[in-house]
Amino acid sequence: MSSADLLVWPLLAQIGWTFMLYAWLTVARKRAVDGGRIEYSGFVLGRDEPLEVARITRNLANQFELPVIFYAVVVLFVVRGQASVWDVAAAWVFVAGRIAHTLVQTLTDNVPLRGRVFTINFVALAVLVGHLAWLLATGGR
């Protein structure tokens, strides 16, 4: 299996993590309604969500920000068939960082730590984007 093919696994892991967040949010919302902390209508705009639900909601929204660039870059690597083991490693660091970011954002109020964890994701993605740009600029050399 080529390195480009191996890049599909972290991409699928990131998609799986996003699916897991949808399931977690569904369960958290149902528990909040069943516990009498909110009615389903309170989720229309999300302004009155209990904190534990709002944290998941916000993190799920985060999965459609920086990870969108990750998806595009990985697809471009796969289509070009050019990726290195460093790209695969950076992709896994990105996914691990996204998981850590979710845990910090949903389970704590530690915003500075969340920022540091985000930096891990950002740097890993910057490595991928930088390598892809280099490959395009140099004709794949």
Alpha carbon distances (Å) from 109 to 47, 83, 106: 18, 37, 8
Domain extent at residue 113: 3-137
Provide the CATH number for the domain around residue 22: 1.20.120.550
pTM: 0.93
State how many domains the chain has: 1
**Per-residue pLDDT, 98:** 97
**Per-residue pLDDT, 45:** 83
What is the spatial distance between Cα 128 and Cα 4, in angstroms, rounded to a whole number? 12
* pLDDT tens, residue by residue, 116-136: 999 999 999 999 999 999 999
Quick one: pLDDT band at residue 46, thresholds 50, 70, 90? confident
Sign of CA dihedral 113, 101, 95, 119: negative
Helix (H) or strand (E) holding 29: helix 8-34
Q: Collapse the DSSP code of 121 into the 3-class scheme (helix H, G, I; strand E, B; otherwise coil) and give the result.
A: helix
Residue whose structure tokens are 């994701």: 121
